[in-house]
C-alpha cells in the first residue's frame, strides 16, 4: 500500500521514495511507489501533475487501492525495483485545486446556512467549478446568491482553522456532519468558537485542504441554472477569481470602446444599441416584405401568369442581397394573397431553393398538396424539404436543376 503523504501534509510538494514496480496503463509507463505526495484523481478532485526523476507525470490514478503515476515517456525509465526517485508536485496546480476544493466546502456550508440548500454533487473543472443543489433555481435569485457568496466570503476572510484527520467513532458521532461518510473516517472540520458546537462545517473528504480558510483567498459565484429538479451553481475560488476579474475588466473596456461610452455606462449603452438594432431589423423586415410584395404584383400581372389561365405562377427569381429561402417565401405570400398558386425557385451560391404555395381554401385550383409536390421536386436537386398543404419549402445542392424541377412540378400540378 502506497503511503499517502498528501493526506498528512498538503504543503509537502517534493519527496524522495523508492520504486515498487513499473507497469503500463494505456500504452504509458505507470510507476508504483512506496510513498507519494501526488494526489490521484478521485473524490471530486482532479489528479496532481509534476514529475518523477525529471520525467513529467501526466496523470495519477488509484487502481484497486494502488496509486499509479502515468509518465509522459514512450518507454519506461530504467528504474529497477528499489530505485530511489525524486518526486515534485506542480505547486501552482496543487494550490489551485486546494483553493477550489476547500472553497467548495465553504460554499456548500454557506448554502445550507443561508438557504437550507444541500449539495448533491460537485465538479472541479479546469476553468470553473460547479455544485448541484437540491433547491429549485427559482430560489436562487441575485439577492440570494449574493447573500450566500457573502457568507462564504466571511468564512474565508476570518481565516478560521481547518482540521483534517481521521476521527474516532465517538468523535464522528459528536460532529454535525454535512453528509455521511461513505468510506473511512477522514473528515474536514472548519472550527469557529462563535458557532454552535464550535464547528462551522464538517464534511468527510479525502482531498487536499489548507490549514486555514484564508488560504482559499476569495469565492465568487458566477451564475445559477436549472439542473434536473434542483439547481447548478457555477463558481471560482482563489487565483481564479482574480483572473476572472481581470478578464471581465478587459471585456468591459473593449465593450465601452465599441459603444463609445465609459465602462460604467456600458449596460445602458448596450440596451440602447439593442433597441436601435431591433427597430432597424423591424424596418428592414418591413421593407423586405414590401419589396417581395412588389415582386409578387409584377409576377401576377406579367407573362408568367399565362400558365393555367393565369392561376399558376412559375418563376425563377434572383434574391436581392441573398437570403433565397426568405425571399421566395415573401414573394409566394404576395402571390397567394392575390389568389395565385406560386411555384418559385432560386439559385444562390450554386444551391437550389424551391417554394410552393397556394391560397388557403378550396376556391382556387389545382388542389394538389404543396408538401407532396415540393418533396418530389426538391428530390431532383439532391435535397429535401416539405411543409403543409398550402406552403412548402426546400433546397438542395443541384442549383442547375431548378428549371427542370419547376417544369416537372407545373406538369404534375396541371394533371391533378
- Cell numbers given for 294: 412588389
Which of 303-307, 326-330, 364-368 has the largest mean confidence? 326-330
Of the pLDDT bands very low, low, confident and very high (cuts 50, 70, 90), residue 365 is low
pLDDT of residue 206: 86
pLDDT category at 367 given cuts 50, 70, 90 is low
Q: Which CATH number fits domain 290-415: 1.10.3720.10, 3.10.310.40, 3.40.50.410, 3.90.1260.10?
A: 3.10.310.40
Single pTM value for the model: 0.73
CA distances to 296, 346, 354, 405 from 359, rounded to whole Å, are 14, 21, 17, 21
Q: How far apart are CA 309 and CA 244, in angstroms?
A: 69
CB neighbours of 280 closer than 8 A, spacing ≥ 6? none
Q: Cell numbers at residue 290, please?
A: 414590401
Nearest CA among 257, 256, 278 for reference residue 267:
256
**Which residues belong to CATH 3.10.310.40 in the chain?**
290-415
Contact assessment for residue 235 and residue 103, using Cβ atoms and an 8 Å cutoff: yes
Please choose, from the candidates 33, 34, 80, 81, the residue with its C-alpha nearest in 3D space to the C-alpha of residue 57.
33
24: confidence class by pLDDT, cuts 50, 70, 90:
confident
Beta-strand runs (E) in 154-305: 162-166, 186-191, 199-204, 219-227, 230-237
CATH class of this structure's domain 3-89: mainly beta
CB count in 10 Å sphere of residue 251? 11
Range(s) of the chain covered by CATH 2.40.30.130: 3-89
Question: What single-letter DSSP state applies at residue 383?
Answer: -
Please choose, from the candidates 284, 309, 298, the residue with its C-alpha nearest in 3D space to the C-alpha of residue 334.
298
User: Taking 70 as the threshold, does the pLDDT of residue 308 lie above it?
Assistant: no
Report the pLDDT value the prediction gives residue 416, as an integer from 0 to 100. 62
Contact 211, 235 (CB under 8 A): no
The edge-to-edge listing of strands for the beta sheet with 384-387 is 312-317, 341-348, 351-357, 391-396, 384-387
Q: Which pLDDT tens digit goes with each residue over 102-155?
A: 999 999 999 999 999 999 999 999 999 999 999 999 999 999 999 999 999 999
DSSP run (H or E) holding 55: strand 55-63
In this prediction, residue 304 carries a pLDDT of 59
**Separation between Cα atoms, residue 410 and residue 314, nearest integer Å:** 7
Q: What is the pLDDT of residue 110?
A: 97
Residues of the chain with CATH 3.30.980.10: 95-247
Where does 95-247 sit in CATH, by number? Answer: 3.30.980.10
Residue 48 has pLDDT above 60, yes or no: yes
Q: How far apart are CA 252 and CA 21, in angstroms?
A: 54
**Residue 366 confidence (pLDDT):** 57
User: pLDDT, tens digit, for every residue of 70-84?
Assistant: 998 776 677 888 999
Average pLDDT over residues 364-384: 83
Res. 208: pLDDT tops 60:
yes
Amino acid at each position: 500500500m502506497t503511503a499517502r503523504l498528501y493526506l498528512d501534509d498538503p504543503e509537502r510538494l517534493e519527496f524522495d521514495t523508492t520504486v515498487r514496480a513499473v507497469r503500463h496503463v494505456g500504452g504509458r509507463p505507470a510507476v508504483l511507489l512506496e510513498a507519494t505526495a501526488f494526489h490521484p484523481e478521485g473524490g471530486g478532485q482532479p489528479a496532481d501533475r509534476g514529475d518523477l526523476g525529471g520525467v513529467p507525470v501526466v496523470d495519477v490514478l488509484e487502481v484497486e487501492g494502488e496509486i499509479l503515476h502515468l509518465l509522459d515517456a514512450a518507454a519506461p525509465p530504467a528504474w529497477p525495483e528499489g530505485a530511489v526517485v525524486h518526486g515534485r508536485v506542480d505547486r501552482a496546480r496543487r494550490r489551485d485545486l486546494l483553493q477550489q476544493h476547500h472553497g467548495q466546502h465553504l460554499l456548500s456550508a454557506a448554502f445550507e446556512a443561508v438557504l437550507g440548500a444541500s449539495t448533491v454533487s460537485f465538479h472541479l473543472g479546469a476553468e470553473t467549478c460547479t455544485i448541484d443543489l437540491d433547491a429549485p433555481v427559482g430560489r436562487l435569485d441575485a439577492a440570494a446568491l449574493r447573500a450566500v457568496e457573502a457568507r462564504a466570503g466571511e468564512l474565508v476572510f476570518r481565516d478560521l482553522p481547518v482540521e483534517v484527520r481521521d476521527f474516532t467513532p465517538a468523535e464522528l458521532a459528536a460532529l454535525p456532519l454535512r453528509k455521511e461518510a461513505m468510506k473511512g473516517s477522514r473528515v474536514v472540520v472548519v472550527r469557529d468558537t462563535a458557532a454552535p458546537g464550535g464547528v462551522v462545517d464538517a464534511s468527510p473528504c479525502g482531498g487536499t485542504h489548507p490549514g486555514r480558510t484564508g488560504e482559499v483567498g476569495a469565492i465568487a459565484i458566477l451564475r445559477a441554472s436549472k439542473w434536473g429538479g434542483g439547481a447548478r451553481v457555477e463558481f471560482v475560488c482563489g487565483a481564479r477569481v482574480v483572473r476572472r476579474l481581470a478578464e471581465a475588466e478587459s471585456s468591459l473596456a473593449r465593450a465601452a470602446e465599441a459603444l463609445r461610452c465609459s465602462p460604467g455606462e456600458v449596460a445602458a449603452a448596450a440596451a440602447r444599441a439593442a433597441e436601435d438594432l431591433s427597430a432597424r431589423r423591424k424596418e428592414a423586415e418591413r421593407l423586405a416584405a414590401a419589396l417581395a410584395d412588389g415582386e409578387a404584383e409584377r409576377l401576377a400581372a406579367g407573362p408568367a401568369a399565362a400558365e393555367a389561365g393565369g392561376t399558376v405562377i412559375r418563376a425563377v427569381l434572383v434574391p436581392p442581397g441573398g437570403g433565397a429561402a426568405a425571399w421566395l417565401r415573401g414573394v409566394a405570400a404576395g402571390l397567394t394573397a392575390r389568389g395565385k398558386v406560386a411555384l418559385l425557385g432560386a439559385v444562390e451560391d450554386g444551391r437550389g431553393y424551391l417554394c410552393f404555395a397556394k391560397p388557403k381554401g378550396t376556391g382556387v385550383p389545382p388542389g394538389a398538396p404543396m408538401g407532396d409536390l415540393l418533396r418530389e421536386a426538391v428530390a431532383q436537386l439532391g435535397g429535401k424539404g416539405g411543409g403543409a398543404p398550402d406552403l412548402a419549402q426546400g433546397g438542395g445542392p443541384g442549383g442547375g436543376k431548378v428549371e427542370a424541377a419547376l417544369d416537372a412540378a407545373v406538369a404534375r400540378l396541371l394533371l391533378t
